[in-house]
């Protein structure tokens, strides 16, 4: 059995079927787009300034919160400094720092946890405090947990 062969022939005027048509001259091939005429300096400057502004805004917000909590901590310390039960276990107050993680773990937004240290001892003070209309702190309840686990009701 024989396989039939095609009898097709290209048109007589153009012997190469894939050749460019007459009069067509292709431009040189460029595999990559040309670089833009301007530089990226402005882009980097703007990105750098935007990044610094973002850091300043976030850092500024955190700074304001820390400043506010320092004021509140000082007010609470002043109110508890002369409390007889507090002085019995802690003595003269030397340090009082907010425990932000423990405070955030509380269900109540008005309850804060402080790490306190005095000349007689140390402990963890949990305070439920309310800010009145004049922005003064009022302590509704305060409990001191001593290192041995003992709980002491400070206020009321």
Has residue 20 been placed in a domain? no
Cα–Cα distance for residue pair 144/152, rounded to 1 Å = 5
Has residue 45 been placed in a domain? yes
**Which range marks the domain in which residue 122 is found?**
41-155
Has residue 15 been placed in a domain? no
Has residue 104 been placed in a domain? yes
What confidence score (pLDDT) does residue 36 get?
Answer: 60
pTM exceeds 0.85, yes or no: no
Has residue 81 been placed in a domain? yes
What confidence score (pLDDT) does residue 104 get?
Answer: 87
Tokens of 26: 């292709």
Has residue 106 been placed in a domain? yes
pLDDT per residue over 17-71, tens digit each? 566 666 666 665 556 666 665 667 888 888 888 888 887 777 777 777 777 777 8
pLDDT per residue over 32-43, tens digit each? 666 665 667 888
pLDDT per residue over 105-136, tens digit each? 988 888 999 999 999 999 999 999 888 888 77
Cα–Cα distance for residue pair 69/75, rounded to 1 Å = 10
Cα–Cα distance for residue pair 107/100, rounded to 1 Å = 13
């Amino acid at each position: 059995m024989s396989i039939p062969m095609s009898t097709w022939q290209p048109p007589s005027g153009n012997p190469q079927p894939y050749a460019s048509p007459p009069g067509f001259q292709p431009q040189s091939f460029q595999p990559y787009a040309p670089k833009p005429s301007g530089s990226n300096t402005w882009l980097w400057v703007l990105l750098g300034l935007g990044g610094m502004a973002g850091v300043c805004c976030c850092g500024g917000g955190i700074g304001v919160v820390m400043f506010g909590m320092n004021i509140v901590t000082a007010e609470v310390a002043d109110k508890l400094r002369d409390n007889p039960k507090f002085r019995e276990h802690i003595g003269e107050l030397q340090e009082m720092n907010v425990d932000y993680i423990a405070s955030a773990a509380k269900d109540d937004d008005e309850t804060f946890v402080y790490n306190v240290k005095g000349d007689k001892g140390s402990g963890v003070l949990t305070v439920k405090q309310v800010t009145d209309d004049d922005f003064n702190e009022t302590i509704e309840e305060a409990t001191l947990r001593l290192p041995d686990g003992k709980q002491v009701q400070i206020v009321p």
